[in-house]
Structure 1
């Protein structure tokens, strides 16, 4: 488990970018009820997450339990560092759709924040997806997801997760 010193040591642009997030977390979720529909109503729910290294530290995985208002489900994120291109790829696996893995989000950390993008579809329409990892070297990291229907000119943030370390 990282120490406070580890959290402030710069590891930017290496396979150690996510190291401060290793361990157990309580996660406070805030998600738009309807995405890309002009909705401003948010649903709040809780969850837990555990992140650990893979492949000798070149990747990592987190195991998640999400307590949505409609019911609990489990999911995992797999991340892999590409040293040649100096970037991360991130894949989401959702237990509600066991035969599907999302398109990879690709990006890197700069200035302490991680920014990742993918081209995807939502309700049959092409969109861009953006993940932000913010405050990762603090005791209160945040993750945000946003969608864009106009090629990245404007973004709708539709999911926010605030992390609180457990134990």
Structure 2
């Protein structure tokens, strides 16, 4: 993936005086380029235990003065390579992030998940449907370090009482 986005350098003094500590900077660490290792359940909500593992790339940049960010992803699935993206928007009143997934194979925006980071873990949920069934979708960002992070997606068919994790991504910073 070409270097499409660059993040302007911000000094520690600038960061502490320009942005309130309300959660708007929770995704700042994700800016830049990443190699991504994917592990994706082949069939969701079907009792399947077979996982596909494949490579990918991600590049994220901030927009709207840091109140939003966008990433561009290349996913090299066994069934074929495609592009996807995430659009994240911070609401400074509610102090929540909304995240939309964009898939090059399907026009339009997905239902956004909403949430925040607490104690270094970001949890984002939404009511949605999967193959006509009502579900709750959950994204979790965790294990965030300077050069690595973990993301997972899970579905629930019982309003969040139980979860099936169906996609795990491990991020390793490039460069």
Give the deviation of 1:13 after TM superposition: 4.2
CA RMSD of aligned residues (A): 1.9
Scaled by the length of structure 2, the TM-score of the pair is: 0.87
Contact 1:26–1:46 under 8 Å retained in 2:
yes
Give the deviation of 1:2 after TM superposition: 10
Gaps of 5+ in 1: none
Structure (1 or 2) with the larger CA radius of gyration: 2
Q: Which residue of 1 aligns with 2:3?
A: none
Residue 162, structure 1, aligned to residue 139, structure 2: no
Q: 1:36 to 1:154 in 2, by over 3 A?
A: same
Q: Which residue of 2 aligns with 1:112?
A: 120
Q: Which residue of 2 aligns with 1:71?
A: 80
Structure of greater relative contact order (alpha carbons < 8 Å, 6+ residues apart): 1
For residue 25 of structure 1, the aligned residue among 20, 34, 37 is 34
For residue 129 of structure 2, the aligned residue among 117, 121, 144 is 121
Give secondary structure in 2 for the equivalent of 1:40. coil
How far apart in 1 are the matches of 2:89 and 2:62?
10
Give secondary structure in 2 for the equivalent of 1:141. strand
Residue 53, structure 1, aligned to residue 62, structure 2: yes
How far apart in 2 are the matches of 1:138 and 1:154?
32
Deviations 1:95-143 (A, max 9, x none): 0012x21001000000011000000000101000000001224422000
Task: Give runs of ≥4 in structure 1 deviating > 3 Å.
Answer: none
